Structure formats: structure tokens, C-alpha cells
């Protein structure tokens, strides 16, 4: 006799930032801009940032684009946060 066990969903599935990046195949900067422009709303639980599976699925299926106007509007809301994102890494001086 074969028995199967079923599990019930206790709520919506939530993905971590790392899982969202892997599923959407995007970089951290793109995820940052999706959040800043409101195209992907994070769910904050304590210090954790999670994303609803339905929203991840929607973005994976339909995609999302960020216009320059949306980036500028997001930058005006929090110029300090976007300044860090725009800075290019500086090359290190060789000591050798």
C-alpha cells in the first residue's frame, strides 16, 4: 500500500533576495531599481527583505523595463542611496 503525504500552503510563498535574483536572472542593481520604482514591492519582516512569489512570477513572465524618467524619479526620492549605486569602483593602486 502506497501512501502519499500532502502539505498545505500556510500562506503565500516568499523568496529571498538571492532567490529572486536567481529566478529573474538579474543583477542586484536591477533588483534595486525594480524596488525603487515600485515595480517589485518587497515585504520586510524584521531585517529580512522578501518578495512575493506571485510578483516574481509576473516579472519573470512579462518582464519590466526601467525608463530613465523612472530612474530619475527614484533618485530624487533618495539621492544618497542612488549616489552609491552610480559610483564606479575605483581601481586600486599597486604597491609593488
The 10s digit of each residue's pLDDT in 20-42 is 999 999 999 999 989 988 889 99
Higher-confidence residue of 64 and 7: namely 64
Three-state SS at 31: helix
Contact 29, 85 (CB under 8 A): yes
Kindly report, residue by residue over 45-94, the tens digit of the pLDDT: 999 999 999 999 999 888 877 678 877 777 777 665 545 444 444 445 55
Contact 56, 15 (CB under 8 A): yes
pLDDT of residue 76: 78
pLDDT of residue 67: 76
The pTM assigned to this predicted structure is: 0.58
Asked if pLDDT for residue 9 goes beyond 80, the answer is no
Contact 74, 82 (CB under 8 A): yes
Find all residues with CB under 8 Å of 40, minimum gap 6, and list them.
20, 31, 34, 51, 55, 56, 59, 64
Distance CA(13)–CA(17), nearest Å, equals 13
Amino acid at each position: 500500500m502506497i501512501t502519499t503525504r500532502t502539505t498545505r500552503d500556510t500562506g503565500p510563498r516568499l523568496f529571498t533576495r538571492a532567490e529572486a535574483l536567481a529566478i529573474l536572472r538579474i543583477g542586484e542593481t536591477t533588483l534595486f531599481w525594480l524596488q525603487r520604482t515600485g515595480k517589485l514591492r518587497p515585504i520586510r519582516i524584521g531585517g529580512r527583505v522578501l518578495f512575493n512569489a506571485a510578483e516574481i512570477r509576473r516579472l519573470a513572465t512579462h518582464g519590466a523595463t526601467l525608463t530613465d524618467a523612472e530612474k530619475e524619479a527614484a533618485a530624487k526620492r533618495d539621492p544618497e542611496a542612488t549616489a552609491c549605486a552610480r559610483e564606479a569602483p575605483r581601481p586600486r593602486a599597486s604597491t609593488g
